[in-house]
Structure 1
Amino acid sequence: MKLDKDDLLIRRLQVIIHWSVKLLAILMVFVIVMGVIDVAWTLYQKMTTPPEFILTISDMLATFGAFMAVLIAIEIFINITVYLRDDVIHVRIVIATALMAIARKVIILDPDKLTPEYTAAIGIVFLAAAVAYWLTNKIPKKEQMDGQ
């Protein structure tokens, strides 16, 4: 009898987690929409302040950073929806999201404020994530070919 009660508890907890993930998906859509509005508003402000219709390099880098933040939010939304559909975390998608986040960081970095150690660390993290992504793409293909 105790096993049945434990099974019922686990099922109820799984339902709570499932609905929590759905709520996260809804909230992420809100974040994405607000991010798009923020990018549009920022561009509008930059284009309407003198000199009009001119974007400086720093304006463009800030805009690229905002774009990348929205794209990262979209990737996180994809992670959430894949989890809802498959009830499994797909490592490849998570690593791709991490690569995008690192790329955003590199785009918005101020080179004047960087130390060599920080630059090397970012490079190492990016390289490690890229190798992990490459491996997650290579290993399943190799296993599929071995199975044929």
Structure 2
Amino acid sequence: MKRMFKDENFLRFIHLVENIVSKILSIALIVVIGVSIFDLMIVLCKDLFTTEPFGFFDKTLLELFGLFLNILIALELLENITAYLRKHIVQVELVVVTALIAVARKIIIFDPAKYEKSDIIALAVAALALAISYLLIRLSNRIFP
């Protein structure tokens, strides 16, 4: 028992737990992506082929774009997890890109009737902050490879 709590053994145990959790999260995210794609296909088929007039969307295009962007965000999250499994470090650049996509999604599907003007300003500030963060990360990766 005492041997298990030695630093090296304990860190090996922590590393094993991190790997198991990352793999479970990856599998769960793959299921979520699959279900999301299936849901998107159902919505597209229903809107295109069962509602009048045929070939037009009952839902607004912005809602459909939101569904597409949800899948893109899930793929980015999966990329974050797999990058962690490969290198065992959190890649800040991927995290910032994922956050930027999420904020962009909110801006794209923003409904001014539901929210205040301050909400769109907050989204714009968040997008600007993330874009600057991304730029700084890219520049620092060039300077300090």
- TM-score, with length taken from structure 1: 0.89
- Structure 1 equivalent of residue 51 of structure 2: 49
Q: Which amino acid aligns with 1:137?
A: R
Q: Which amino acid aligns with 1:85?
A: R
Root-mean-square deviation (CA, aligned residues, Å) is 1.8
> Match of 1:61, SS?
helix
- Structure 1 equivalent of residue 10 of structure 2: 9
Structure 1 stretch displaced more, 67-76 or 47-56: 47-56
Question: Deviations for 1:64-86, whole angstroms, at most 9, x for unmatched residues?
Answer: 00000000000000000000000
- TM-score, with length taken from structure 2: 0.90
Unaligned runs of 5+ in 1: none
- Structure 2 equivalent of residue 140 of structure 1: 141
> Match of 1:109, SS?
coil
- CA drift of 1:114 comes to 2.8
Q: Which amino acid aligns with 1:37?
A: F
Q: Please give the alpha-carbon distance, in whole angstroms, between the structure 2 residues aligned to 1:15 and 1:108.
A: 40
> Match of 2:18, SS?
helix
For residues 26-65 of structure 1, the aligned pairs below 5 Å read: 26-47=27-48, 48-55=50-57, 58-65=59-66
Aligned length: 143
Q: Which amino acid aligns with 1:65?
A: G
- Structure 2 equivalent of residue 99 of structure 1: 100
- CA drift of 1:3 comes to 8.7
Unaligned runs of 5+ in 2: none
